[in-house]
């Protein structure tokens, strides 16, 4: 189907919005009246600009407070409408949106509304224009789609139809099934928006919190299914009023927007992009650092061993069990400081995963590799993290590990597989620090890309998104949402601060390492010279009140700074290292059933990290 986006959904001046929509790949736009009024371009110039960009103008909007008013008022409204129809002629737009009246002058009189809308349609017809009547969820007398349709049906004019807007329909809790009773050709337009489920005034909800389909809590795809079965053939158009998108850069927002429509079309069976290839594990996490010393000290204390070095790049492989870290001291490190720059995702079909990503507009990264290196498919996540689709040591596919040469240096890790010509990647259980794999990665997103990040990881990678949780930080609020595969072997916690933050804490990333015995692992780390984040005594007094932990257990947690959480299915114990650049490590002991990340301990951890942070 054709795709379209309302200019109100994007930031910037009208020309910037148009450029962003076209670059992302939209077919058309809805021109929001205020964007035109504020533009120095004449309607003819806007028309020409759209034509140059290959965009159709699918809708001009909105016209307000037209119908069901006393006749003198309606005469004034018709005069106003005629002005707008002339403007639309200059723009080359042939459909206008009329939203249901919120005027105190409007009467609760469907017959009058139908009569006046018919008059409006007669006028519009003379200009070759169609009128699409939309129920605003807070309309004075007309606030539901079926009510708007009854009025359109009664008016019975070929130039009058209805505009359906998923937000108004779903926010009112209307049953969208009734849409199938509307003849498809009378649905003149379809506007799509999702929103997080919130208990609040519907106008505020609509004007500030709409988001792209798949980013909120509504079943937008289900609604689109009904609209398709009704026989609708017009564009799928996004109309998203959102405080964050208004401030974010238009280009990336437009790509995020189009991705949401691609996923939506797939989910209702309109298109068939390459199927998602769900990752089956984390092959590696790659850190870049300008100064390898402090990082090496922490990794050694954690029990990691430097097992191999990249043949052509300044990249070392550090390993413990199935936990693999790449430490990159190349040029990016000098530019960006210590941070988590890339994630290797173990993929059953790396090429297929890349095809899926590309079809969903993920930027495919150029292969930066020497001729003899394994070809690795990689895309950039919205936060810039490079995601590599890997096949680790599978004979049928090239393995990234082949690009590494085992280091001569003797390591504390038992490498039975480390013989000549074999992969340097150990598969044996470690004897080092008791760490066996990466439990999860926590990636802080730029403040304006949180919704985009969740949709990206869900749709591009095929991961499932958990509920988002809010966490109190001493200086703000953090939101966090985890995306995981079914067996929990890939867990990525996406986080964001509530406000733009230049502070390192607001950009922190961490790597959580799984251990079967956190007390032993934490003790080993400390005795090897590692420093654990100290946790206040008050926390342990509270823990003693909440849970019946054995005395020895509680004392050990208190001594080591181990946090504890429990849900119906199991317990979670975790502690933290100090932060280097943007990165810190977490040791995690997770019972098999526990699905969370210790969110209720996060405020204590964040406060403790603020205490440790050097004052600037």
Residues that bind ligand DHB (CB under 6 A): 61-62, 97, 99, 134, 136, 165, 191, 206-207, 239
Residue 62 contact partner, candidates ligand DHB, Mg ion, none, CB within 5 to 8 A by sort of partner:
ligand DHB
206 part of the interface to Mg ion, by CB under 5 A: no
143 part of the interface to Mg ion, by CB under 5 A: no
Q: How many CB atoms lie within 10 A of CB 87?
A: 15
Piece in contact with Mg ion (CB under 5 A), picked from 10-18, 75-83, 165-173, 423-431: 165-173
Whichever of 67 and 377 has its CB closer to Mg ion, that residue is 67
For the bound state, the minimum distance from the C-beta of residue 73 to ligand DHB, rounded and expressed in Å, comes to 20
Residue 46 contact partner, candidates Mg ion, ligand DHB, none, CB within 5 to 8 A by sort of partner:
none
For the bound state, the minimum distance from the C-beta of residue 65 to Mg ion, rounded and expressed in Å, comes to 15
CA angle (30, 161, 234) in 5-degree steps: 50
Whichever of 162 and 509 has its CB closer to ligand DHB, that residue is 162
Piece in contact with Mg ion (CB under 5 A), picked from 19-27, 147-155, 233-241, 428-436: 233-241
Q: What's the Cα-to-Cα distance from 255 to each of 22, 268, 360, 377, rounded to whole Å?
A: 10, 20, 9, 21
The CB-side HSE value for 417 (13 A sphere, CA atoms) comes to 14
CA pair distance 172, 387, nearest whole angstrom: 40
Instruction: Out of 30, 35, 165, 386, name the contact with Mg ion by CB under 5 A.
Output: 165
* 436 appears as a binding residue in the annotation: no
For the bound state, the minimum distance from the C-beta of residue 160 to ligand DHB, rounded and expressed in Å, comes to 16
Whichever of 171 and 463 has its CB closer to ligand DHB, that residue is 171
The CB-side HSE value for 60 (13 A sphere, CA atoms) comes to 25
Whichever of 106 and 532 has its CB closer to ligand DHB, that residue is 106
Percent helix / strand / coil, the chain, rounded to 5? 35, 25, 40
Please tell me what DSSP assigns to residue 277.
-
Whichever of 207 and 394 has its CB closer to Mg ion, that residue is 207
Whichever of 96 and 390 has its CB closer to ligand DHB, that residue is 96
* 510 appears as a binding residue in the annotation: yes
For the bound state, the minimum distance from the C-beta of residue 88 to ligand DHB, rounded and expressed in Å, comes to 16
Instruction: Out of 191, 338, 347, 601, name the contact with Mg ion by CB under 5 A.
Output: 191
Whichever of 239 and 266 has its CB closer to Mg ion, that residue is 239
Q: Of all residues in this chain, which one has the CB nearest to Mg ion in the complex?
A: 165
100 part of the interface to Mg ion, by CB under 5 A: no
For the bound state, the minimum distance from the C-beta of residue 30 to ligand DHB, rounded and expressed in Å, comes to 8
* 249 appears as a binding residue in the annotation: no
Q: Of all residues in this chain, which one has the CB nearest to ligand DHB in the complex?
A: 62
* 239 appears as a binding residue in the annotation: yes
Is residue 78 within 8 A of residue 23, CB to CB? The reply is no
- Calculated CA dihedral for residues 179, 185, 187, 189, nearest 10 degrees: 140
Size of the site for Mg ion (CB under 5 A): 3
* 346 appears as a binding residue in the annotation: no
Q: Which of 28, 44, 118, 119 is nearest to 86 (CA)?
A: 44
Residue 206 contact partner, candidates Mg ion, ligand DHB, none, CB within 5 to 8 A by sort of partner:
ligand DHB
* 559 appears as a binding residue in the annotation: no
Is residue 521 within 8 A of residue 471, CB to CB? The reply is no
CA 63 to chain centre: 33
Residue 57 contact partner, candidates ligand DHB, Mg ion, none, CB within 5 to 8 A by sort of partner:
none
CA pair distance 385, 399, nearest whole angstrom: 21
Place of tokens 């609604």: 223
Whichever of 164 and 341 has its CB closer to ligand DHB, that residue is 164
Residue 207 contact partner, candidates ligand DHB, Mg ion, none, CB within 5 to 8 A by sort of partner:
ligand DHB
Is residue 187 within 8 A of residue 165, CB to CB? The reply is no
Whichever of 8 and 255 has its CB closer to Mg ion, that residue is 8
Name the CA radius of gyration of the chain, rounded.
28
Is residue 112 within 8 A of residue 118, CB to CB? The reply is no
Burial class (CB in 10 A: 0-12, 13-18, 19+), 355: middle
Whichever of 163 and 435 has its CB closer to ligand DHB, that residue is 163
Q: Which of 164, 56, 78 is nearest to 127 (CA)?
A: 78
For the bound state, the minimum distance from the C-beta of residue 61 to Mg ion, rounded and expressed in Å, comes to 8
Residue 61 contact partner, candidates Mg ion, ligand DHB, none, CB within 5 to 8 A by sort of partner:
ligand DHB
For the bound state, the minimum distance from the C-beta of residue 195 to Mg ion, rounded and expressed in Å, comes to 12
Tokens describing residue 326: 């790449």
CA pair distance 176, 190, nearest whole angstrom: 13
Q: What is the 3-state secondary structure (H, E, C) of 486-504?
A: CCCCCEEEEEEECCCCCCH
58 part of the interface to Mg ion, by CB under 5 A: no
Piece in contact with Mg ion (CB under 5 A), picked from 157-165, 197-205, 211-219, 279-287: 157-165
Whichever of 204 and 417 has its CB closer to ligand DHB, that residue is 204
Piece in contact with Mg ion (CB under 5 A), picked from 176-184, 236-244, 440-448, 495-503: 236-244
Sign of the Cα torsion 538, 540, 542, 545 reads: negative
33 three-class SS:
helix
CA pair distance 424, 427, nearest whole angstrom: 10
For the bound state, the minimum distance from the C-beta of residue 116 to ligand DHB, rounded and expressed in Å, comes to 19
* 421 appears as a binding residue in the annotation: no
Piece in contact with Mg ion (CB under 5 A), picked from 40-48, 191-199, 383-391, 568-576: 191-199
Whichever of 97 and 563 has its CB closer to Mg ion, that residue is 97
For the bound state, the minimum distance from the C-beta of residue 168 to ligand DHB, rounded and expressed in Å, comes to 6
CA angle (338, 339, 340) in 5-degree steps: 145
CA pair distance 61, 97, nearest whole angstrom: 5
Q: Which of 64, 54, 59 is nearest to 94 (CA)?
A: 59
CA pair distance 283, 303, nearest whole angstrom: 18
The CB-side HSE value for 497 (13 A sphere, CA atoms) comes to 17
For the bound state, the minimum distance from the C-beta of residue 601 to ligand DHB, rounded and expressed in Å, comes to 40
Instruction: Indicate the annotated binding residues.
Output: 134, 165, 191, 239, 440, 510, 586
Binding residues for a divalent metal cation: 134, 165, 191, 239
Annotated binding-site positions for Mg(2+): 440, 510, 586
Binding site for Mg ion (CB under 5 A): 165, 191, 239
């Amino acid at each position: 189907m054709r795709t379209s986006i309302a200019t109100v959904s994007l930031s910037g001046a009208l020309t910037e919005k148009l450029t962003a929509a076209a670059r992302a790949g939209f077919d058309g736009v809805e021109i929001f009246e205020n964007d035109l009024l504020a533009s120095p371009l004449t309607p003819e110039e806007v028309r020409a600009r759209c034509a140059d960009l290959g965009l159709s103008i699918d809708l001009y909007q909105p016209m307000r407070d037209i119908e069901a008013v006393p006749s003198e008022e309606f005469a004034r409204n018709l005069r106003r409408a005629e002005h707008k129809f002339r403007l639309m002629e200059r723009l080359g737009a042939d459909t206008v949106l009329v939203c249901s009246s919120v005027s105190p002058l409007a009467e609760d009189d469907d017959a009058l509304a139908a009569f006046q809308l018919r008059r409006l349609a007669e006028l519009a017809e003379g200009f070759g224009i169609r009128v699409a009547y939309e129920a605003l969820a807070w309309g004075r007398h007309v606030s539901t789609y079926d009510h708007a349709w009854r009025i359109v049906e009664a008016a019975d004019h070929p130039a009058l139809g209805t505009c359906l807007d998923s937000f108004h329909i779903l926010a009112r809790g209307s049953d969208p099934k009734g849409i199938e009773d509307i003849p498809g050709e009378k649905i003149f337009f379809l506007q799509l928006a999702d929103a997080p489920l919130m208990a609040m005034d519907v106008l505020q909800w609509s004007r500030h919190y709409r988001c792209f389909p798949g980013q909120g809590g509504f079943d937008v795809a289900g609604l689109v299914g009904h609209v398709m079965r009704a026989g609708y053939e017009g564009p799928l158009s996004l109309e998203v009023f959102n405080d964050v998108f208004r401030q974010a850069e238009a280009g990336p927002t437009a790509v995020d927007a189009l991705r949401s429509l691609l996923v939506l079309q797939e989910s209702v069976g309109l298109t068939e992009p390459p199927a998602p290839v769900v990752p089956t594990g984390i092959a590696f996490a790659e850190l870049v650092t300008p100064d390898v010393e402090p990082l090496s000290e922490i990794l050694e204390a954690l029990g990691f061993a430097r097992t191999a070095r990249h043949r052509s790049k300044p990249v070392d492989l550090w390993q413990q069990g199935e936990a693999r870290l790449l430490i990159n001291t190349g040029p990016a490190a000098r530019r960006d400081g210590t941070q988590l720059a890339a994630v290797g995702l173990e993929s059953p079909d790396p090429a297929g995963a890349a095809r899926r990503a590309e079809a969903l507009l993920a930027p495919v990264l150029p292969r930066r590799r020497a001729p003899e290196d394994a070809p690795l498919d990689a895309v950039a996540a919205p936060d810039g993290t490079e995601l590599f689709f890997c096949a680790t040591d599978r004979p049928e596919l090239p393995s990234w590990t082949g690009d590494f040469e085992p280091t001569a240096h003797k390591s504390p890790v038992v490498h039975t597989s480390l013989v000549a010509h074999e992969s340097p990647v150990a598969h044996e259980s470690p004897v080092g620090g008791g760490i066996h794999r990466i439990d999860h990665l926590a990636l802080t997103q730029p403040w304006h890309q949180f919704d985009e990040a969740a949709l990206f990881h869900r749709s591009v990678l095929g991961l499932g998104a958990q509920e988002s949780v809010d966490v109190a930080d001493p200086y703000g609020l953090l939101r966090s949402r985890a995306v995981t595969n079914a067996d929990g072997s890939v867990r990525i916690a996406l986080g964001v601060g509530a406000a733009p933050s230049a502070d390192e804490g607001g950009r922190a990333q961490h790597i959580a390492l799984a251990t079967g015995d956190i007390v032993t692992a934490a003790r080993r780390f400390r005795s090897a010279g590692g420093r654990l984040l100290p946790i206040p005594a008050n926390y342990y007094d509270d823990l003693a009140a909440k849970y019946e932990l054995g005395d020895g257990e509680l004392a050990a947690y208190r001594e080591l700074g181990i946090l504890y959480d429990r849900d119906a299915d199991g317990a979670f114990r975790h502690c933290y290292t100090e932060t280097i650049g943007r990165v810190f490590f977490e040791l995690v002991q997770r019972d098999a059933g526990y699905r969370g990340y210790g969110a209720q301990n996060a405020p204590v951890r964040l406060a403790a990290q603020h205490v440790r942070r050097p004052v600037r």
